Amino acid sequence: MSATLLVEDARKHFPSGDTVVRALDGVTVEARPGELIGIMGASGSGKSTMLLIAGLLEPPTDGAVYFRGECVSHPEADLDRLRDFRRRNIGFVFQKANLIPFLSALDNVALALQIDDVPVAQARDYAHELLVELGLGHRVDNRPARLSGGEQQRVAIARALANDPPLILADEPTAALDSVRSRQVMELFRTIADERQASVMVVTHDSRSIDLFDRVYEFSDGRILSENHSAAASTLVAR
């Protein structure tokens, strides 16, 4: 089965005074349908930069990004085209839920569809379906301030799923949650990968749910230190 996402030999360099910061220095990662991929490493190791490249938010300085075998990003990529492609094919979840405070959970999710010109009634119906699927059917009319941190993050995940993207990228989505809610969110990503056959890639410092990942890439100084498969990834916990 071909990869949904392939980041191939990517480099991202930033000028800093008289030097160049090599945030990424020849990184190759992939995510296949139905896989939950972990990206781990210390702060400053290049994890979030890699997610920017993978999510088409930044083109690489060198290398390429392939989506279902098609090269979609490279150093000369058109930023407007990247934006349009990203909106149709990639869902994002961040450390903070970033919900609109004066909208209900339902309308926060429906808005993602309305931006793509889905009729309001249809957008709200599907938003309701998603929130029920994620265990928030009783919270659809609540604004973010009335939701717990874990509930807010589930609304953010529903929003990321609204356009049925084949790729979900999450950057430290459990950093602000306690251990119980963190596990619940990570189990939700596992379910999304399994049941929707989406490719889900999660940047995280939290090794407590490492058993849920199919593969884990460990980053260090802009490079991949190791790639661990399924149960073998649990060896990272002991480090």
d(CA 169, CA 45): 18
The confidence score (pLDDT) of residue 232 equals: 46
Pairing of strands 62-67, 223-229: unpaired
d(CA 161, CA 198): 10
Q: 111 or 1: whose pLDDT is higher?
A: 111
pLDDT over 80 at 178, yes or no:
yes
The confidence score (pLDDT) of residue 1 equals: 62
Domain, as residue range, for 167: 5-238
CB burial string 168-190: b at 16+ within 10 A, e below: bbbbbbbeebeeebbbbbbebbb
In the chain, how many domains are there? 1
The confidence score (pLDDT) of residue 237 equals: 46
**In the structure, what pLDDT confidence band is assigned to residue 12 with cuts at 50, 70 and 90?**
very high
**In the structure, what pLDDT confidence band is assigned to residue 129 with cuts at 50, 70 and 90?**
very high
The confidence score (pLDDT) of residue 3 equals: 94
CATH code assigned at 139? 3.40.50.300
User: Model-level pTM?
Assistant: 0.91
